[in-house]
Each structure stands twice: as C-alpha cells, then as structure tokens.
C-alpha cells in the first residue's frame, strides 16, 4: 500500500494547445488525420508538476467532444474549480468533477494530470499507485485504411518487428477482401478489425462473414452511443465483439457486460474520465472474466506514458495499441523515446508517468498557452 500523506494542493496550471505533424496520415472509417492537435495540461504543486493530455479531436468525429470545447471547459470551469484546493487522493478530485455531465475527455485531462502529480508526491511510479506491476507490456499495432497491397506490406513489417497483434481499420467496401488477403498471407497472425461505428444491424450478414477469418475480436462495429444492438449482433456472429466508443463510464461497461454486448473491452483512460473510472471498468471486466486492453488515440509521449502505466494492471491480458511513438511522430514532446522491443513496450521508470517534457520541442509545437492561478 502507498504511504498515507497529507492532501495535495493544486497551486497552479499551464494549459497548452499543442500540434504535432503525423509521420503518416492515419485513415479510419470516419476520416483522415494528418496532424495531432491536443490540450496539454501541466498541473503544479510545490515544486512538482503532473502531466496529461486530452484525447478529443478538433472535430466531433470519434466522440462528441472537441478540442476547442475541452480547452474552454478546462480553462474556464474545471481548472478554476480545483485551483488552490487540496485533494486527499485522485479519486477525491474525480468525485469533485463528477456532477458535470459527460465531457469525459476534458475531465480525464485534469484527473490524469493529478494522478501523475500524486504519484510524484509519493515518489512512486504511477503503475504502483494504480495497482499494476511489471516492467513492460505487450503491444500490437493499429493500421489505418490503405490499399490492400500497402496494408499487407505494413502487416509484414510490423510482424517482423515483433508486434503481437495487428488491428486493421475497416469500412464498408473495404472489409471482406482485405481480411481474405490478410488471412491468406498471414495464417498465424493475431488479427482484429476496428470499424469505428460504420455498420448497422442491417449489416449483420456481412459482419457474420468475418467469422471465417479467425479474428480475435471485432471492435465497435455499430453506433458510438449504442449497447443494445451490439448485444443483438453478438447473438448473430461467433467473433467476440469488443467495445470502444460505446463505453464512456463504468455504468456503460456494466450494461455491456450484463447484456453480453462485449466479450472484450477496449479501455482508453482518456475516453472514460481518467484512471479512477478506467480502474473501475477494469475491475468490472475482471468480475465478468472479460479481457481488456488499452486503446490509443495517437497520443504524444505524455498520454502514451499514462496508457503504458495503466496497461500493467492484471486484467490487461490482450496486447494494446501503445506502439512505438516513432510510428507517429518524428519529434515527440518528451525527452524519453517510447519504443517497443520485440513487441513489448518498457514502462518508463521513475516517479509518476516517468517522462519529462522536451521544452524546446514543446515550445515549437505550442499553438496557445495559458497560465491558471488560484
């Protein structure tokens, strides 16, 4: 058990809007990203700093939150609410934010930065205060939509690098032929697909044809705000359904587990309001013997480090999306290089998330900068 300590006071914060170009454009069923634009929060207490980033997109094309909306909510409401206040534990801060409706990504940005600050105040790695252990995690990759020959080349390249699972983004018209080619070329590979909500129940017969390709699971085939239709779909297909977008709270997770809408769960800490809710969802899934893994949102090193620490909890038994940062960025905003070794991502050692900001790169990448004081 971590040592008991006095409540931790939030003395100040820096909220930055940061832009990093992507090495390769990333295409999924809802569109293409060429750069990553995100809020970066630096939370301060005494001489310590806690870091987190928001995972919302500029436009509401993954979930309903937007970067501009989250920046305004953080700057004008959430940060002033906690500024100058002390919290006995990160869960107490999460509770203080709980009356607000939804906006889980904005709340997660603040909650996660406080977890980092809290762990640093105890001199412990974040994984230790979360209840995880181990020096490395298993990782897979998520490959965006591209012509089939390009995708086959990318699969071969990433299997050679040791990645333990290949997730293929699909959309109507770019699904069965892709899977047929991938399975034929790589009969032993752990393959999954992610539809990012692009099908409906009317596509049940098409989705059932994916059973022939021995996928580990199919991720979020139906609507982002649905649970019920996924439960119905699961009765029509053999491939396990994994939910991502549909799970924003522990209560969503409970309903999905109780109705059989999810046999696998993708936990993104930035999507569910922070580590407090992520742990609760992890625990619920363990109770239902449903395996979980940690998804990615093309995070910079700050969010990537949070994901790695969370992934050391015992229920994360499937490889996550937390692949090498160099797949996404030529220069990251942290000094450490978060790179996989033979399909395993080392946990950054040291207090908190274990990474430090590269202030030169951060300065160049910063679009706006605000100081928030008590």
**How far is Cα 15 from Cα 116, in angstroms, rounded to an integer?**
16
- Report DSSP letters for 45-91, one per residue: ETTEEEEEE---BSSSSSSS-BHHHHHHHIIIIIHHHHTT-EESSHH
What is the closest distance, in whole angstroms, from the C-beta atom of residue 29 to Mg ion in the complex?
Answer: 10
Nearer to Mg ion, 116 or 244 (CB): 244
**Catalytic one of 36, 44, 167, 268:** 268
What is the closest distance, in whole angstroms, from the C-beta atom of residue 150 to Mg ion in the complex?
Answer: 21
Paired strand residues for 302: none
Touching Mg ion, residues 266-295 (CB under 5 A)? none
Yes or no: say if 221 and 241 are a contact pair by the CB < 8 Å rule.
yes
Nearer to Mg ion, 120 or 230 (CB): 230
Touching Mg ion, residues 160-189 (CB under 5 A)? none
Please give the residue whose beta carbon sits closest to Mg ion in the complex.
244
Window of 193-201, 230-238, 313-321, 338-346 that interacts with Mg ion by CB under 5 A? 193-201
Nearer to Mg ion, 109 or 196 (CB): 196
Window of 9-17, 32-40, 170-178, 190-198 that interacts with Mg ion by CB under 5 A? 190-198
What is the closest distance, in whole angstroms, from the C-beta atom of residue 197 to Mg ion in the complex?
Answer: 9
Nearer to Mg ion, 70 or 267 (CB): 267
Residue 255 bears catalytic tag = no
Residue 169 bears catalytic tag = yes
Contacts with Mg ion: how many residues (CB under 5 A)? Answer: 3
Window of 22-30, 98-106, 198-206, 238-246 that interacts with Mg ion by CB under 5 A? 238-246
Nearer to Mg ion, 246 or 324 (CB): 246
Yes or no: say if 113 and 83 are a contact pair by the CB < 8 Å rule.
no
What is the closest distance, in whole angstroms, from the C-beta atom of residue 131 to Mg ion in the complex?
Answer: 25
Touching Mg ion, residues 206-225 (CB under 5 A)? 219
Nearer to Mg ion, 297 or 357 (CB): 297
In the chain, beta strands by DSSP E? 8-9, 12-28, 31-45, 48-53, 86-87, 136-138, 141-143, 166-169, 191-194, 218-219, 241-243, 264-267, 292-294, 344-346, 366-372
Residue 330 burial (10 A CB sphere; 0-12, 13-18, 19+): exposed
What is the closest distance, in whole angstroms, from the C-beta atom of residue 335 to Mg ion in the complex?
Answer: 29
For the chain, the straight-line distance linking the first and the last C-alpha, in angstroms and rounded, comes to 32
Instruction: Report helix, strand or coil for 252.
Output: helix
If phi > 0 it is left, if psi is from -120 to 50 it is alpha, else beta; for residue 263 that is: alpha
Verify binding: residue 244, Mg ion, rule CB under 5 A: yes
Comparing CA positions, the residue from 336, 335, 337, 303 lying closest to residue 322 is 303
What is the closest distance, in whole angstroms, from the C-beta atom of residue 195 to Mg ion in the complex?
Answer: 8
Comparing CA positions, the residue from 303, 296, 292, 297 lying closest to residue 348 is 303
**Catalytic one of 36, 169, 255, 363:** 169
Q: Which residues bind Mg ion (CB under 5 A)?
A: 194, 219, 244
Tell me the catalytic residues. Answer: 169, 268
């Amino acid at each position: 058990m971590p040592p008991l300590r006095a409540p931790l006071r939030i003395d100040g914060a820096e909220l930055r809007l940061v832009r990093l170009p992507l090495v390769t454009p990333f295409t999924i069923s809802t569109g293409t990203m060429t750069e990553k634009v995100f809020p970066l929060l630096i939370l301060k207490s005494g001489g310590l700093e806690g870091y987190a980033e928001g995972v919302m997109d500029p436009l509401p094309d993954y979930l309903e939150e937007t970067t501009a909306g989250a920046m305004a909510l953080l700057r004008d409401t959430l940060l002033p609410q906690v500024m100058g206040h002390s919290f006995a534990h990160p869960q107490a801060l999460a509770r203080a934010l709980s009356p607000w409706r939804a906006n889980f990504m904005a709340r997660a940005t603040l909650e996660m930065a406080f977890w980092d600050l809290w762990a640093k105040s105890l001199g412990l790695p974040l994984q230790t205060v979360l209840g995880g252990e181990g020096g490395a995690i298993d990782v897979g990759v998520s490959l965006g939509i591209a012509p089939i020959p390009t995708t086959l080349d990318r699969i071969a390249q990433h299997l050679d690098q040791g990645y333990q699972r290949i997730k293929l983004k699909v959309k109507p018209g770019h699904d069965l032929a892709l899977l047929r080619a991938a399975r034929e070329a790589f009969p032993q590979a752990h393959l999954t697909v992610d539809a990012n909500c692009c099908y409906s129940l009317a596509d049940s017969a098409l989705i059932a044809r994916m059973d022939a390709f021995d996928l580990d699971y199919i991720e979020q085939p139906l609507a982002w705000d649905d649970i019920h239709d996924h439960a119905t779909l699961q009765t029509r297909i053999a491939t396990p359904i994994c939910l991502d977008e549909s799970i924003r709270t522990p209560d969503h997770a409970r309903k999905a587990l109780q109705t059989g809408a999810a046999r696998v769960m993708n936990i993104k800490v930035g999507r569910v309001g922070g580590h407090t809710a992520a742990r609760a969802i992890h625990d619920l899934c363990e109770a239902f013997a449903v395996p979980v893994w940690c998804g990615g949102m093309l995070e910079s090193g700050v969010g990537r480090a949070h994901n790695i620490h969370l992934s050391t909890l015992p229920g994360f038994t499937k490889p996550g999306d937390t692949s090498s940062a160099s797949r996404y960025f030529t220069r990251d905003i942290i000094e450490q290089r978060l790179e996989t070794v033979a399909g395993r991502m080392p946990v950054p050692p040291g207090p908190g998330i274990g990474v430090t900001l590269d202030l030169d790169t951060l300065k160049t990448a910063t679009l706006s900068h605000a100081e928030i004081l008590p």
